[in-house]
Amino acid sequence: MDYDSFLARMVDLKRVGFVESHRVGDTGIGKTLEDLLGITENNIAGPDFATYELKSARRDSSSMLTLFTKAPMPKGANHELLDAFGYRQRKKISHVAQGHISAYLGLSKIQESDIPIEEKELHVTVDSLKLNSVGLKLEVKGNTIYISNLRGIEAYYEENYLREAFEKKYRHDLVYVLANNRKEGRKEYFHFNEAQLLSGFSFERFSEAVRIGTVKLDIRIGHYPNGKLHDHGTGFRVFPISLPLCFARIKKIL
């Protein structure tokens, strides 16, 4: 399918109005749009049609989208953050080493500093608006976004580092389709009525979105059962309606 054919089909979809989802759950919107456009679902990296990637979202969704995942600089920063701000892994309490159990018994409250690093996790959201529950906050200075904190842990994202991660995720121009949705009982319906063509990385736009709190950072660090550090996907996230703000070029096509 070429671009003109895609656009003609999108105009028809907007005219049709609400259509029933082809799949239950969060992925229903993408599956429905692909089916209606005649695009075969696959997990292969590359353009979905012609030279474009296709992404769709519920306009008023309260669930954030992941822009891209990337651990902060310098190397080992996640390990330092986990050591300083981590807390005992909720899903690993039954796996606490036998040698530590006796030390835990009798303590009314376990301090984070008492917990071995291999028993810690750090699952938090960080933004620029205020310190989060563990004392982390995003701060933009020049061409760098810092994970500021009161313990002096060095963790940051430089402009070129962000650009590399962004362009790796969005190798092709992105056609972004928004839909209104409604539910009737267990059924969900979509009205695909807006589309934008997004491309390019702009640190100015991205950092401004961070500065005003539109873009947030989710830190998801823990350990495998063998104690090895596991980054579950430290990444920048944004609400669907604000995704275009993170691109250098935005063109409304529907």
Residue 105 has pLDDT above 70, yes or no: no
* C-alpha closest to that of 199 among 30, 55, 29: 55
For residue range 69-83, list pLDDT tens digits in order: 999 999 999 999 999
Q: What does the alpha-carbon distance between residue 125 and residue 137 come to, in Å, rounded to a whole number?
A: 9
φ, ψ of residue 227 in degrees (nearest 5):
95, -5
Write out the E strands in the chain.
Answer: 19-20, 52-58, 65-69, 87-88, 120-126, 136-141, 144-149, 156-158, 173-184, 187-201, 216-223, 229-231, 235-238, 247-252
* C-alpha closest to that of 236 among 215, 222, 208, 207: 215
Residue 98 has pLDDT above 50, yes or no: no
The two structure tokens encoding residue 176: 């972004």
The amino acid that residue 13 corresponds to is L
Q: What does the alpha-carbon distance between residue 76 and residue 173 come to, in Å, rounded to a whole number?
A: 33
Domain extents in the chain: 3-99+116-252
**pTM, whole model, 2 decimals?**
0.84
Check if the beta carbon of residue 132 is closer than 8 Å to that of residue 140: no
Check if the beta carbon of residue 248 is closer than 8 Å to that of residue 201: yes
Let me know the angle formed at the C-alpha of 24 by 20 and 29, rounded to the nearest 5 degrees. Answer: 60
For residue range 43-55, list pLDDT tens digits in order: 666 788 889 999 9
Q: What CA dihedral angle connects 110, 138, 155 and 140, to 10 degrees?
A: -160
For residue range 16-35, list pLDDT tens digits in order: 999 999 999 999 999 999 99
Lowest mean pLDDT among 81-90, 106-115, 171-180: 106-115
DSSP assignment of 77-111 equals HHHHHHHHH-EE-GGGGGG--HHHHHHHTT-SS--
For residue range 173-187, list pLDDT tens digits in order: 999 999 999 999 999
* C-alpha closest to that of 68 among 141, 174, 143, 155: 174
What percentage of the chain carries pLDDT values higher than 90? 76
pLDDT at 113: 53
Q: What does the alpha-carbon distance between residue 132 and residue 218 come to, in Å, rounded to a whole number?
A: 11
Q: What does the alpha-carbon distance between residue 185 and residue 179 come to, in Å, rounded to a whole number?
A: 19
Q: Determine the average pLDDT of the residues in 227-244.
A: 89
Q: Which fold has domain 3-99+116-252?
A: Alpha-Beta Plaits (3.30.70)
Of residues 245 and 223, the one with the higher pLDDT is 245
